[in-house]
Amino acid sequence: MKRSNEPIFWSLFGAGGMLAALIGPALVFITGIAVPFGFVFSPDTMSYAHMLAFSQSWAGKVFVLAVIALFLWHAAHRIHILLHDFGVHAVTAVRVLCYGGAFAGTVIAAYTLLMIKA
Amino acid sequence: MAENEKIIEIEVLRYRPEQDKEPVLQTYKVPFTDDMSVLQGLQYIKDYLDGTVSFRWSCRMAICGSCGMMIDGKPKLSCKTFLRDYYPGGLRVEALAHLPIERDLVVDATDFVTKLESIKPYIIPKEPRALEQGEYLQTPQQRDMYEQFSSCINCMLCYAACPQYGLNPKFTGPGILALMHRYNADSRDGGQAERNELGYADEGYWGCTAVGYCSEVCPKGVDPANAINQNKMNSAINYFTRFVTPGGAGK
C-alpha cells in the first residue's frame, strides 16, 4: 500500500480550522464591527499607519501570513471535499483549483509581507 | 393474530437473478401487532404470502449482525426496527446500499470479509510470553481505550451509510477501520506497524471525508468516525516524524 500524502493537506486544513475557530469570530468582530463603530477600540486603530507598523514587525508579518494562508488552506480542503461529497469527481481539476488557489494566495501574501520594509 | 390487528404495506426490493434483469419492487399487505419488528414482518411474508422472498437473519436480538437492510432508505437492523413506527404509512425494504445484491435482500459480503481478514483482526502480542508467565494484564483505563470499538457486530450498516465507500469500494470503510483501531489501541497489541501500512494509505484512514453518518447508523454505539479521526492525527504525526523516529518509516 502506498503511503498517502494527504497528511500535508490535512495538517494545513486542521491548523487553519483550529485558527479559524479560535480567532476567526474575534477577528470579524474587531475588524468588521468594533473598530469601524468605535466600540472598545478607537476608530483609527486600523488606520494605514497602524497597520503598516503592525506588518513591519516580524511578529506582525507571521500573524498576518498565518491568518491568510492557513484560512485559505482550510477553505481549499473543505471545498475540495465538499465538491467530492456532492458528486464532483473531476479530481485533478478540483485539486488544482482549490490547492493551487491556496498556494497562490500564500505566495502572494508572503511576498507582499516581505516587501513591506521597516 | 389478535383482534386488534392492523395491516401495513411492505414494499420489498426483489431481485431474482434467474428472472429479473434488474431489481423490482413488490408490495405485500402484512397484518401486524405493535410488538412486531420489520424482520417479523418479512418472516410473515415468507411464511404466509410468498415463500420466494430471501433475506438473512439469525438472532432476532441485534447481536448477530445478519439482518441489516435499507428501511425507508436508511440502513437499519430489521430486528431492531418496528413496523408500528411506519404505520399508518407503509415502508420500503431494500438490500443494503453500496453492496452487490445476491438475491432479494441478501447482499454479497465478499469485499467486507476480505478486507476484514486483511487487517489482522486479532491481538498480535507485543512480546511473546510463556504460559508460566501468566496472562497479559490490563488496567480498566487501558481497556477503555478500545472497548466501544470492540462492540462491532460486522452488520455492514456503516458501509451502506458511507458515501465514500459508495463512490470508491477500494476504501477500507468505517467498520473495518474502527476494528483496526480496536486492535491498535489495545495495550496488549504490538501489530500497529503491520496494520498501519494500510491505515496510512489513501485506501485507509485518508479515504474518509468525515461525513460521520457511519457513527449515526451504528446499532451498537460504535463511533467509527471518531476512530478514523484519531488515526488521521496519528498518521499525520507519523508522516512528519517518520524519518526521525526509530522504526517510524515502517517497512
DSSP A1: -
Q: Mind giving me the DSSP string for A45-75?
A: TT-HHHHHHHHHSHHHHHHHHHHHHHHHHHH
| Residue A4 DSSP code | P
- A45 within domain boundaries: yes
Q: Is residue B126 part of a domain?
A: yes
Considering the domain architecture, whether residues B68 and B166 belong to the same structural domain is answered as: no
The answer to whether residue B249 neighbours chain A at the CB level (below 8 Å) is no
- Strand ordering across the sheet containing B74-77: B24-32, B6-14, B91-94, B68-71, B74-77
At residue A23, the pLDDT reads 93
**DSSP of chain B, one letter per residue?**
--TT-EEEEEEEEE--TTT-SS-EEEEEEEEE-TT-BHHHHHHHIIIII-TT-----S-SSSSS---EEEETTEEEEGGGSBGGGG-SS-EEEEPPTTS-EEETTEE--HHHHHHHHHT--S--BSS---GGG-PPP--HHHHHTTGGGGG-----HHHHH-HHHHH-TTS--HHHHHHHHHHHT-TTB--HHHHHHHHTBTTTGGG-----HHHHH-TT---HHHHHHHHHHHHHHHHHHTTTSTTTT--
CA distance B69 to B239: 38
Whether A2 is covered by a domain: the verdict is no
More confident residue, A38 or B189: B189
User: Could B236 and A1 be called an inter-chain contact, meaning their C-beta atoms sit closer than 8 Å?
Assistant: no
Same domain? B235 vs B115:
yes
Nearest-neighbour CA in chain B from A11: distance (Å): 7
| pLDDT over threshold 80, residue B2 | no
Q: Which residues of A touch B209 (CB under 8 A)?
A: 81, 84-85
- Output the domain CATH number for residue A41: 1.20.1300.10
Residue A52 lies in a domain: yes
Domain boundary among B88, B107, B126: B107
Per-residue pLDDT reduced to its tens digit, B163-219: 999 998 999 999 999 999 999 999 999 999 999 999 999 999 999 999 999 999 999
Same domain flag for B31 and B82? yes
Q: Is the pLDDT of residue B251 over 50?
A: no
Say if strands B68-71 and B74-77 run parallel, antiparallel, or are unpaired: antiparallel
Residues B233 and B140 in one domain: yes
Question: Looking at the complex, does the CB of residue A89 fall below 8 Å from at least one CB of chain B?
Answer: yes
User: Is the same domain home to B158 and B222?
Assistant: yes
In a domain, A1, yes or no: no
Q: What is the mean pLDDT of residues A6-18?
A: 94
Least confident of A68-82, B41-55, B233-247: B233-247
Same domain membership, residue B214 and residue B123: yes
- The total of structural domains in chain B comes to 2
A85 shares contact with chain B (CB less than 8 Å): yes
Tell if the CB–CB gap between A4 and B167 is shorter than 8 Å: no
To test the contact with chain A by mutation, choose from B119, B200, B229, B241 the residue with the greatest count of A C-beta atoms within 10 A, namely B200
Nearest CA-CA partner of B173 in B250, B108, B119, B100: B119
How much is the pLDDT for A1?
81
Residue B219: domain span: 110-241
Q: Tell me whether A3 touches chain B (CB under 8 Å).
A: yes
* Shared-domain flag, residues B150 and B233: yes
B148: CATH: 1.10.1060.10
Residue B26 belongs to a domain = yes
Report yes or no on B129 lying in a domain: yes
B132 and B98 inside one domain: no
Q: Is the pLDDT of residue A51 over 50?
A: yes
pLDDT higher than threshold 80 for residue A70: yes
Domain boundary among B47, B78, B107: B107
C-alpha cell at position A63: 500573524
Poorest-confidence range of A42-46, B34-38, B94-98, B156-160?
Answer: A42-46
CB A2 to CB B232 under 8 A?
Answer: no
- B102 with B114, same domain? no
Contact A8 B211 (CB under 8 A): no
| B226 and B129 in a common domain | yes
CA-closest candidate to residue A82, choices A68, A100, A94: A94
Specify whether B46 is located in the same domain as B78.
yes
**Domain, as residue range, for A76:** 7-115
- Closest-CA residue of B relative to A83 is B209
> Which residues of chain B make contact with A90, given a CB cutoff of 8 A?
none
Number of domains in chain A: 1
Section B5-17 average pLDDT? 95
> What pLDDT band is residue B247 in, cutting at 50, 70 and 90?
low
Which chain A residues are within 8 Å of B201, Cβ to Cβ? 1-4
**Mean pLDDT (chain B, rounded):** 94
pLDDT at res. B249 = 60
Question: Has residue A108 been placed in a domain?
Answer: yes
3-state secondary structure of A118: coil
Query: What is the reported pLDDT for B221?
Result: 95
Across the interface, whether the CB atoms of B239 and A89 are under 8 A apart is answered no
Instruction: Say if residue B133 is in the same domain as residue B190.
Output: yes
Percentage of chain A modeled with pLDDT above 70: 100
**Residue B245 pLDDT greater than 70, yes or no:** yes
The residues facing B32 across adjacent strands are B6
Closest residue in A to B195 (Cα–Cα): A1
Burial class (CB in 10 A: 0-12, 13-18, 19+), A97: middle
Interface touch B235/A7, C-beta < 8 Å: yes
- Please check whether residue B81 lies inside any domain of the structure: yes
